[in-house]
Amino acid sequence: MSYVHWLVAISLAFTLLERLLPWRPQPLFRKGLIGDLGWLAINGHLFGVVTAGLMAWTAAGATELLRGLGLAPGRSLVADWPFPAQFALFLVLSDFLQWGVHNLLHRVPWLWAFHKVHHSVTTMDWLGNFRFHWMEIVVYKTVQWLPLAWLGASSQAVFAVAVASTVWGDFNHSNLDVSLGPLGRLLNSPRMHLWHHDLSTEGGTAKNFGIVLSVWDFLFGTAYWPRERSPERLGYPGMAEMPETLVGQLVWPLAKRKAPAG
């Protein structure tokens, strides 16, 4: 199956699960639905297809370049590992790198301008996973794939990690009444990730950056999770500045970057 086939299957599964096991009462045809379907088409389908090819080509080219400079081993360090071991290694490594990038998206002002698009979500469901500016793909993929290229990552294992990350990203943003219990200190969940989108400053703004694994937040002191309740409102302070249309959200961070300082 191609990534697009996986994307369609995953999307249909979460749509059905949210109808069967809803956490919060939310209408199916909620505000912003059409725009988020557009984001799904762009970031899930279009960029999913384009970046899959580009990353495979870039990873191969980067590996050869590093080897030519003597900065990479002559052969893959993990080529002889069984598939489950490669998958586990790449998942943990790529997730840690994504945790670091996500942290920077909130701390570096020019990156935060792009990441605000994702935090403009006010009604959260699995589609919220795909509302993000394309610039984030550039940053995430550059940081994420170069180390994997250095290791000589198996294309099959990398693809499996991409699918798993999509599943867990949809799960984290979903409106599902699911509790992971003690596993919540290892794996991210809707209940914990929703606090990352909290509109108030409760718990601080630097919290819960995990993608698949929540353990990084507990290890590095960025975890915040009052388990007995959920945030009252989602968004970011000053979000009235954000356009409501998909085209407006695509253009706004770029226009903001070009605007002279006031």
- Which tokens go with 63? 């590996």
Q: Is residue 9 part of a domain?
A: yes
260: number of Cβ within 10 Å: 4
Give me the count of residues in the chain.
262
88: number of Cβ within 10 Å: 14
Do the Cβ atoms of 137 and 145 come closer than 8 Å? no
- Which tokens go with 247? 């085209």
Q: Is residue 238 part of a domain?
A: no
- Which tokens go with 162? 């991409």
Query: Which phi and psi (to 5°) does residue 239 adopt?
Result: -75, 0
Total domains present in the chain? 1
Q: Is residue 192 part of a domain?
A: no
Name 61's Cβ contacts closer than 8 Å, sequence gap at least 6.
none
- Which tokens go with 144? 């994420």
When the pLDDT of each residue in the chain is averaged and rounded to a whole number, the result is 86
- Which tokens go with 104? 């920077």
Q: Is residue 227 part of a domain?
A: no
Q: Is residue 59 part of a domain?
A: yes
Residue 24 has pLDDT above 50, yes or no: yes
Burial readout 220-231 (b: 16 or more C-beta within 10 A, e: otherwise) = eebbbbeeeeeb
Place of tokens 């996986």: 6
Cα dist from 141 to 5, 20, 43, 56, whole Å = 21, 34, 13, 11
Domain of residue 79, residue span: 3-179
Side chain identity at residue 12, one-letter code: L
pLDDT of residue 202: 87
Q: Count the helices and strands in the chain (H runs, E runs).
A: 10, 0
Q: Is residue 27 part of a domain?
A: yes
Q: What is the pLDDT of residues 138-173, one digit of tens each?
A: 888 778 777 777 777 777 888 888 889 999 999 999
pLDDT of residue 259: 47
Q: Is residue 37 part of a domain?
A: yes
Q: Is residue 257 part of a domain?
A: no
Q: Mean pLDDT over residues 16-30, rounded? A: 92
The percent of residues in the chain predicted with pLDDT above 90, rounded, is: 57
Q: Mean pLDDT over residues 181-187, rounded? A: 94
- Which tokens go with 208? 């819960």
